[in-house]
Structure 1
Amino acid sequence: MTKPKTARQEQMLRELNLAPSLRVAELARRLGVSTETIRRDLDEMMEQGLLNRTYGGAVRSLGPEPSVTERHTLFVAERERIAKAAVQVLKGAQMLMIGSGATTVHTARRIAVEMKNITVLTHSFGVATVLAINPTIKIVILPGDYHATEGATIGAHTVSFLNSFYADFAILGASGLGPDGPSDALLECGAVYAAMISRAAKTMVVADHSKHDRLFAARYAPWQNIGHVVTDQAPSISLKGTMEKNGVNLTICL
């Protein structure tokens, strides 16, 4: 029996809370309606600001992200696996730039255990703190305005300071991994990440599966500027295809 429109749309929103993206054909099959009906529903829900339309489906609407302190309690095991795999890619690097975020802190902790005699530039106090257990790592904190909920410095001074340096790798987190590239919920952090990418020979994004097919306000780079993505689950077929098309090296640490 076909559900009325309101119940159908409520179920679609519940589905989005469980999975980061929805496909029109799959929704039509599950709900027993035509693809045209699903498209009309998605268009109506997009107008209400409940989601964003993509080619062939929809993703969660742009939204705020929890503070970095809250994020540290989520997906801990997954982030530890990501960090372990990420460090293998970094072997041989001498100069790193590391952005803020829960997954980058996990990665920095693993760097502190497995790497030595390197220099790290970071705007994240969490990253600096976990790196400090290794006395052979030189830590340079970027100046700027302190963003309390992110635990990091941001602003014009942060960005301009980066212009005096080059790095082997920029290691960045993301609030979302979308069809056009990684994005962040904070515009100011997005600006810092973009500056790090411009000063690094290679760029790695470390992000757990909850970031797949999500969109946030600050897209800080197109996929063609990202060399590596390390994540804990395989992305959707469309997202994976976009990464591969743009030459991104994808590491999935199950």
Structure 2
Amino acid sequence: MKKPKSARQERILTELNRAPSLRVAELARRLNVSTETIRRDLDEMTEQGLLNRTYGGAVRSLSTEPPVTERHTLFVLERERIAKAAVQLLKGAQVLMIGSGSTTVHTARRIAVEMKNITVLTHSFGVATVLAINPTIKVVMLPGDYHAAEGATVGAHTVSFLNAFYADFAILGASGLGPDGPSDALLECGAVYTAMVGRTAHTVVVADHSKHDRLFPSRYAPWRDISHVVTDQTPGDELKGNLDINGVKLTVC
């Protein structure tokens, strides 16, 4: 059983995934503890690199993201809507590449229900598992080093293997949607996504509103290389303007 402090700090990270930043007083109210307790937690978590302190509050560290198992519990309804809309863009596709992440797993589950007689290349064990319910879908798992927190293979072997294939669409998630492109918290996954973008005719980025206007270390493609963004809320003016300038089609569901 988790100790109260450990459980509380996990809850703080969950709350920070639902809002770009939170004040100490608001966190104290949500967790039903004193502001002094929250301040001690934030100081300790800052030292661990889990978040960044701000004046009177905290923001999630831009260089980190929770494990994929934790992300699966967030924005479930929004991601289901995104998945449903994304699959409508794939009609007629024969070969897909799908990246790792929680929203891509939702999309893969919808693909398994609505599509048949296709081939899917993926490095995500979660994606492969949900596709397995449809026996007409051929799943090709990419080789590589296993990244436990992401539930996916990464590395030079993964990228090299991708270079032998072409696909009609790549379906990719993102940790952040920045002014000049989508980015990922994990450099290793970013390298795989870059390879997928380079081997497909069209790239669809699926990302909920919590990813808008956030920056992470690995920008895996410029917006000019992305065909479509599917999200659950209209982006802010700057991000939407950059999508428009680069010819990225936007679907808000």
Q: TM-score, normalised by structure 1?
A: 0.77
Equivalent positions of 1:1-254 (< 5 A) are: 18-19=19-20, 62-253=62-253
Separation in 2, partners of 1:225, 1:61: 27
Kindly state the Cα deviation for residue 180 of structure 1 after the two structures are TM-superposed: 1.0
Separation in 2, partners of 1:223, 1:197: 11
Separation in 2, partners of 1:17, 1:76: 12
Separation in 2, partners of 1:70, 1:99: 17
RMSD in angstroms over aligned alpha carbons?
A: 1.9
Q: Are the equivalent residues in 1 in contact too, given 2:18–2:210 (CA < 8 A)?
A: no
Q: Are the equivalent residues in 1 in contact too, given 2:172–2:206 (CA < 8 A)?
A: yes
Q: TM-score, normalised by structure 2?
A: 0.78
Separation in 1, partners of 2:60, 2:191: 23
Q: Are the equivalent residues in 2 in contact too, given 1:60–1:215 (CA < 8 A)?
A: no
Encode CA deviations 1:12-45: one digit per residue, 9 max, x unaligned: xxx998347xxxxxxxxxxxxxxxxxxxxxxxxx
Paired-residue identity, % = 79
State the SS of the aligned residue for 1:90: coil
Cα 1:61–1:79 change in 2 (3 A) is: same
Encode CA deviations 1:175-229: one digit per residue, 9 max, x unaligned: 0000010000000000000000000000000000000000000000000000000
Separation in 2, partners of 1:198, 1:19: 31
Amino acid at match of 2:19: L
Comparing 61-70 with 208-217, which one deviates more in the overlay? Answer: 61-70
Separation in 2, partners of 1:151, 1:72: 12
Unpaired stretches in structure 2, ≥5 consecutive residues: 1-15, 22-51
Kindly state the Cα deviation for residue 63 of structure 1 after the two structures are TM-superposed: 2.8
Encode CA deviations 1:102-147: one digit per residue, 9 max, x unaligned: 0000000000000000000000000000000000000000000000
